[in-house]
Copies of this chain bind each other. A is one copy, B any other.
Amino acid sequence: MSVKAVGITRRGRGARKAIRQTRDVTMLPALKRRLPPCEPMSAREIERIDAASMAILEDVGVVFRDPVALADWRRAGADVRGETVHLDRGLVRELIAGIPASFTYHARNPANNLPFGNDHSIFVPMTGAPYLRDLHDVRRAPRLEDLADFHKLSHMLPAMHSTAHHIVEPMDHPISQRHLRITYSSMKHSDKTFMGMTTSPKNAQDVLDMCALLFGADFMETHAVVTGNCNGNSPLVWDETMLGAMRAFIRRNQPVLCSPFVLGGANTPASVAPTVAQLNAEALSALAYTQVIRRGAPAIYGHYLSTVSMKSGAPMAGTPEISLMNFMIGQMARFYDVPWRSSNTLGGAKTFDAQAGYESATTGMAVLMAGANYLWHSAGWNEAGMHCSMAKFVVDAEQCAMGYRMAEGIRWDDFDEALGAVRDVGPGGHYLGHPHTLENFQRAFFMPEMFDNNSIEQWQAEGSAGITERALLRARDLLNEYEEPRLDADVDEALRDYIARREREIPAADALNQDR
């Protein structure tokens, strides 16, 4: 049978051209997952992890390298010995019960607000890359204009729910002042949600002050408008920089991702379940501390998760144990009824090659099946996070749109009508001209634009373009078509004034002390 679309072809060249030309840059709503998550642990095994984590918190304790946090913990009734805080499981449970299971994550354009937590998931781009592979696939140091390009792409790619913050590090600006320009770029180039820098307590304050200019300080008191990430130093240590940044966010009722930084086998035991028990204890200790700072403030169970090659010491991604741990962590977060974050598309490939594809897709499928709420690093990640690839950014964003469709689950609304088509067509027929097909073909099966599924002859006739070339062409098109969302002129001026003032106040040379 010829697969040439009979019915479709008859609709004519104009119709097909119209399909191609209507580039939909409308953001997809927050994903509402209907696919059941993968849950490999029984209730008894969940309790076993919980009990082990609680025993770690009680007996081993967690180091908070921060006098303010230690004083806070003492006041909260914890057993503090030196810098080590021993947390009674009753106290931990009582504290984490204060964390909202869900909230609305607000964008400056209310149309881009995101319901967050429970069965909702959002896709957030990668961040923190010290290099980029640019529109010519050249690996180089990023500038502020490159960051702007990534923010513009995030704004236009429908499955991206956020512009994040420093997708790439703008190396052309002093490190001590960089957070101001990064935050402004997120705010200016998109009206989707964004993230806030947590590189120091003072930097976090700047971010929150800028958010107050954008959203209003009163609004922020009762609405989440920016997320901040705080990494732990596994095993079982939280440092002053992160805890200070955490306090800045939580005091203003803004959600913090509490993220143990796991290199499985190096800073955790060389085994899956015990690694989750340790990570869980670490996350719980920080989640509990958010509620010591401000009861009821939103907080997110986080982690950064890689396993370490015992041959080379290199971090690895896309490995089976990372998938298993994600499934387990999802179960733990749901057990505690707190939203949780995972990392998507991780990998160690040096170029946008088959390794990058395997690693990203494996990770992406795993974290979707794990039911993560906050899918960070969902676009652009490569080379263990050392570079963000423009080409991969565009392809990953399409992969997120595909994962989104899968996680939405099965449609049943046209079931009976389509069974009528089976009767109409009968044995040996085809469906291409059937009314049901004509009505449904656009939404029925995802048609990835970054994948080439033509014959090799056609592909060669069209220039044998590889996926990197195709994706960079798309990136260029998107950037050409980009339209900046309107930002109130007074707000814009206030933000610029704030930055100008802070750039006068912060010494450009005081880089290493300010921004860790």
Contact = CB atoms under 8 A, between A and B. Distances in A.
Interface of A: 1-5, 8, 16, 19-20, 34-36, 38-41, 45, 48, 52, 55-56, 59-63, 84, 139, 233, 235-237, 263-274, 277-278, 307-321, 323-324, 327-328, 347-362, 364-366, 369, 383-384, 386, 392, 395, 399, 402-406, 409-412, 414-415, 418-419, 421-423, 425-432, 434, 436-437, 440-442, 444-448, 450-456, 459, 464, 466-468
Closest 10 CB pairs of A and B: A357-B357, A274-B418, A320-B406, A361-B361, A270-B444, A236-B427, A348-B453, A365-B365, A307-B445, A269-B418
Nearest to A366: B365
15 contacts: A36-B40, A52-B415, A139-B456, A235-B426, A235-B430, A265-B432, A268-B431, A270-B445, A277-B415, A309-B445, A319-B445, A352-B354, A353-B357, A354-B392, A365-B366
Contacts of A40: 34-36, 409-410
A148 to B, nearest CB: 25
B467 A353 contact: yes
Contacts of A410: 40-41, 45, 272-273, 324, 328
Contact of A444 (B16, B321, B327, B466): B321
Contacts of A313: 2-5
Q: How many copies does the complex hold?
A: 2
Given A233-B428, A270-B436, A386 B447 contact: no
A379 B474 CA distance: 31
Contacts of A273: 410-412, 415, 418
Contacts of A265: 431-432, 437, 441, 444-445
Contacts of A38: 35-36, 38, 369
Contacts of A357: 353-361
Contacts of A349: 451-452, 467
Contacts of A61: 427
Nearest to A3: B313
Given A321-B405, A354-B353, A428-B63, A270 B437 contact: yes
Contacts of A314: 3, 453-455
A66 to B, nearest CB: 13
A352 to B, nearest CB: 5
Contacts of A317: 453
Contacts of A45: 410, 412
Nearest to A432: B266
A309 B447 contact: yes
B453 A315 contact: yes
Given A41-B410, A357-B361, A415 B271 contact: yes
B415 A60 contact: no
A422 B270 CA distance: 11
Contacts of A446: 307, 316, 319-321
Contacts of A310: 5, 8, 441-442, 444-445, 447
Nearest to A308: B3
A88 B312 CA distance: 62
A472 B8 CA distance: 42
A319 B357 CA distance: 14
A301 to B, nearest CB: 19
Contacts of A266: 1, 3, 5, 430-432
Which of A273, A392, A436 counts the most chain B CB atoms within 10 A? Answer: A273
Contacts of A452: 348-350, 355
Given A3-B315, A355-B452, A419-B52, A267 B320 contact: no
B274 A414 contact: yes
A142 to B, nearest CB: 16
A420 B356 CA distance: 37
Contacts of A447: 309-311, 316
Given A277-B419, A310-B441, A324-B409, 6 more contacts: A38-B369, A235-B422, A350-B464, A353-B467, A354-B468, A359-B361
A84 B456 contact: no
